[in-house]
Structure 1
Amino acid sequence: MIRFLRFSLKHPVSILIAMAIIVLIGLNSFIHIPIEIRPISESGNKDRTYKIQINALWPGQTAEIIQKSITSPIEEHCVRIRDLIDIRSSTTDSESFVTLSFPDDENKKYYHIHVREKIWHLQKTGIIPDEADIGIQVLYENEEERKQFSEAFIEFQINGPYELNQLRQITDQNIAPRIQSLEGVSDIKIFGGSSGYVAIHLNPDKLNQYALSAKEICEQINTQFTYMGLGRIKSDNSNRLLLFDNRPQSFQQLLDIYIKPGLTLNEIADITFEYQPSYSLSRRNGMALITVQVFKKPYENALEFSKKVRETINQIQSELPISTELVITKDQSEELRNEIVAFGIRFFIIMSVIFLILY
């Protein structure tokens, strides 16, 4: 140690050059490391698994019926998912729980997609009863991991001189799709107002004239349109699910549906787009308020992701009327920025002290 100190004092230039090289290598590594709020290794951990739980609720049924109608079909279909490590189930009266374990690696975002495809197939083919309520959730190891994957990364609010559902419609049609299209966005949740639906108002006089009932009209509409999986298209580099979907995409297509030969829906009903009753009401400065939560995909660079979302929000703001505001109320990257600034200050102080000691 004494020899090293003597050498350092006699050759300060050499020591400074060596330090400069080490600092440059460190800075290069620092710049290229993906920045996360709560880092999780992309290579995963051999001792950790990624768990997905499928919950099914079918009130009034015995454990034996639940096991035969829900638990067993889920097990039989999900066991075919590649890289599955373990599958466990628990069945009680009215409830079923199936837990799937996968490697905790960079492919885990695809495991959830595969599980959803399996459940979708079971529901659409009628293997799982329609009365059963199915839910899929990720089981997190701890609170930090839950925050990483289940808490919104950025939250912003839209406020303007509109009726609440008008503001919700602006958000649904003009704002949310642009945010959702950004690379790195895993999900978006909207709070305030209510989701819209298509309302078909039947004319009672026309129903009597053509001897029709609401039930018959519903059956005619349902039998003419299909949404189902037809299998997969496989190639060397892709594996895609093939869907058949001929559902109407506009009001006019819906109005042109034939209820009976020579009679369309347009002749016996009016169609409007309406909103369900609002379950949450928020206001700011006396005006309606909508909250949007943006969720980030794992392993996305936190600072770059925040920058993209903020730029898009600012661009949307510039296109809206002056009276409409978009305000960011939460951004997890701010915590990270503060830590980086603090790190820079500490690094500068340490380097200054070393420089003063050498000289």
Structure 2
Amino acid sequence: MIESLISFSLRNRFLVLLVAAGLFAWGIYSVKVSKIDAIPDLSENQVIVFTEWMGRSPQIIEDQVTYPLVTNLQGLPQVKYVRGTSMFGMSFVYVIFNDYTEIYWARERVLERLNYASRLLPNGVTPTLGPDGTGVGHILWYTLDAPGMDLGEQRAIQDWYVKFALQNVQGVSEIASFGGFQKQYQVTLNPNKLNYYGLSTQQVIQSIRTNNNEAGGRKFEMSDIGYIIKTTGYLKSIEEIENIAVKTVNTTPVRIRDLGSVQMTGESRLGIFDKDGEGEVVGGIVVMRYGENADEVITTVKKKMEEVAKGFPQGVKFNIIYDRSELIQESVSSIKTTLIEEMIVVSLVVIIFLFHWRSALSIIIQIPITIASSFILLNAFGITSNIMSLTGIALAIGVIVDNGIIMAENAYKNLATRFEELNES
């Protein structure tokens, strides 16, 4: 078999060269379109179901949210196992699928089952799917450098301006905000006053909700001009909330200010985000979508950040604190240097020991063709160009070179012996 293949190759040298050139060109194209990352993605193929029910203890979350979801999500096709975690006010359910399951097909199956499982949960509790990212999807972290601006204003810029802009970048699954204060109106009720007026907390909450709303009317025509009638009822200040009437006692309205106090403050926090011990900061985490090119996504996000920064208040700018592209560039550069060094060393070894430039050239040509061809297989199997895969290619060069040297030396020896025999005869 091997002898026939060698004989065929010797008789059809032009065809062999043409195939080699085609593989090399295809390999070069595969190198350009190959997905680049620093580390291989070995995380499980999972779909996360997140449910929030604030103010409830972990045991209540476990009994009324996590357990119903876990039991109903079991039995989905291609599911390996389902894990659940309960904590204060939050529930996380991890649905682990087989490794070769298509991730978006898996998310559709989970959504279908959630349509039924949601009916088993308490009123007002709605489970949602987590981002379509992986465990190594955190590709870039940034903070806002805003001297003199309070943390609440920084968080508002992050949540209502930066986050929406960066989420539109191709390949970004989510922009996770961290740090600062999320502004909110807080109503602090006096239980003694509630008892005096015979009111409950739920009645106060319902009054605030019904007064923070807009309602549409109808079209009104007058003098051939149409007017759209609507009521504007969104609450815009502390005073408006204080003046909301909850109940009427002897023709006198009982307002929110009669039952407690209203203030603008930040949402309760379980921790802070500190940078270098210099104080709190506000920022975000860029989460890459499943199967995307990390290097390309990071480059696109940075370009978008330059556009977003033009709309910042004076003195505010981005401060990147983690950038995986640096590790990617260092990894690729290191592998390139190693490959060049190996090609030089191999060339010197072949020339010194065989002292035959044509043999050295035939071995050296094998290296770029083989490396380029290997990227065809990497793309075919969906493997990114990372530290592990590129290192494997670098190590495999030794095997390629060894085979080339052995074949060249054997051919050289046989030709020399044959030449001596011809001279003697």
| TM category, shorter | 0.5 to 0.7
Shift in Å, 1:326: 0.8
Call closer, same or farther: CA 1:222–1:121 in 2, change over 3 Å: farther
Aligned pairs (5 A) from 1:334-345: 334-345=326-337
Counting strand residues as a fraction of each chain, which structure ranks higher?
1
Say if 2:184 is the partner of 1:182: no
**Which residue in the other structure is 1:232 paired with?**
none
Shift in Å, 1:293: 1.4
Match of 1:314 among 289, 306, 310: 306
Tell me how far apart the structure 2 counterparts of residues 58 and 294 of structure 1 sit (CA, whole Å).
31
Counting helix residues as a fraction of each chain, which structure ranks higher?
2
**Which residue in the other structure is 2:33 paired with?**
32
Partner amino acid, structure 1, of 2:99: D
Shift in Å, 1:287: 7.6
Residues 251 and 271, structure 1, Cα contact 8 Å, conserved in 2: no
Shift in Å, 1:30: 2.0
Of the structure 1 ranges 158-167 and 348-357, higher mean CA displacement relative to structure 2 is found in 348-357
**Which residue in the other structure is 1:297 paired with?**
289
Identity between Structure 1 and Structure 2 (%): 18
Larger radius of gyration: 2
**Equivalent position SS for 1:175:** helix
Say if 2:156 is the partner of 1:155: no
Of the structure 1 ranges 109-118 and 261-270, higher mean CA displacement relative to structure 2 is found in 261-270
Tell me how far apart the structure 2 counterparts of residues 321 and 224 of structure 1 sit (CA, whole Å).
34
Segments of 5+ residues of structure 1 without an aligned counterpart are 139-146, 227-247
Shift in Å, 1:88: 6.3
Match of 2:266 among 260, 275, 278: 275
Tell me how far apart the structure 2 counterparts of residues 101 and 345 of structure 1 sit (CA, whole Å).
40
Say if 2:351 is the partner of 1:328: no
User: CA RMSD of the aligned region, Å?
Assistant: 5.7
Residues 247 and 254, structure 2, Cα contact 8 Å, conserved in 1: yes
Residues 179 and 281, structure 2, Cα contact 8 Å, conserved in 1: yes
Residues 87 and 98, structure 1, Cα contact 8 Å, conserved in 2: no
**Equivalent position SS for 2:142:** strand
- CA offsets 1:45-91 (integer angstroms, 9 cap, x no match): xxx86476899996678x9xx5xx6677436643575x354566899
Shift in Å, 1:159: 1.2
Tell me how far apart the structure 1 counterparts of residues 265 and 278 of structure 2 sit (CA, whole Å).
24
- CA offsets 1:120-173 (integer angstroms, 9 cap, x no match): 8756x4x3458x9x99999xxxxxxxx952562101121112122222222222
**Which residue in the other structure is 2:103 paired with?**
108
Of the structure 1 ranges 170-179 and 180-189, higher mean CA displacement relative to structure 2 is found in 180-189
- Length-normalised TM-score, structure 1: 0.59
Partner amino acid, structure 2, of 1:152: H
Tell me how far apart the structure 2 counterparts of residues 152 and 13 of structure 1 sit (CA, whole Å).
49
Tell me how far apart the structure 2 counterparts of residues 97 and 260 of structure 1 sit (CA, whole Å).
40
Aligned pairs (5 A) from 1:105-254: 105=100, 107-109=102-104, 111-112=106-107, 115=110, 122=117, 125=119, 127-128=120-121, 149-150=135-136, 152-161=138-147, 162-200=149-187, 211=197, 213=199, 215=201, 216-221=203-208, 251=236
Shift in Å, 1:344: 3.8
Residues 211 and 235, structure 2, Cα contact 8 Å, conserved in 1: no
Shift in Å, 1:335: 2.1
Call closer, same or farther: CA 1:325–1:99 in 2, change over 3 Å: closer
Call closer, same or farther: CA 1:346–1:281 in 2, change over 3 Å: closer
Residues 84 and 102, structure 1, Cα contact 8 Å, conserved in 2: yes
Partner amino acid, structure 1, of 2:165: R
Call closer, same or farther: CA 1:74–1:318 in 2, change over 3 Å: closer
- Length-normalised TM-score, structure 2: 0.52
Tell me how far apart the structure 1 counterparts of residues 167 and 308 of structure 2 sit (CA, whole Å).
13
Residues 52 and 112, structure 1, Cα contact 8 Å, conserved in 2: no
Tell me how far apart the structure 2 counterparts of residues 250 and 294 of structure 1 sit (CA, whole Å).
33
**Which residue in the other structure is 1:231 paired with?**
none
Partner amino acid, structure 2, of 1:33: S
**Equivalent position SS for 1:149:** strand
Call closer, same or farther: CA 1:258–1:119 in 2, change over 3 Å: farther
Tell me how far apart the structure 2 counterparts of residues 316 and 97 of structure 1 sit (CA, whole Å).
33
Call closer, same or farther: CA 1:160–1:257 in 2, change over 3 Å: same
Partner amino acid, structure 2, of 1:24: A
**Equivalent position SS for 2:186:** strand
Tell me how far apart the structure 2 counterparts of residues 89 and 288 of structure 1 sit (CA, whole Å).
34
Partner amino acid, structure 1, of 2:143: Q
Residues 198 and 271, structure 1, Cα contact 8 Å, conserved in 2: yes
Say if 2:69 is the partner of 1:74: yes
Residues 149 and 298, structure 1, Cα contact 8 Å, conserved in 2: no
Residues 190 and 293, structure 1, Cα contact 8 Å, conserved in 2: yes
**Equivalent position SS for 1:307:** helix
Segments of 5+ residues of structure 2 without an aligned counterpart are 86-90, 214-232, 348-356, 363-425
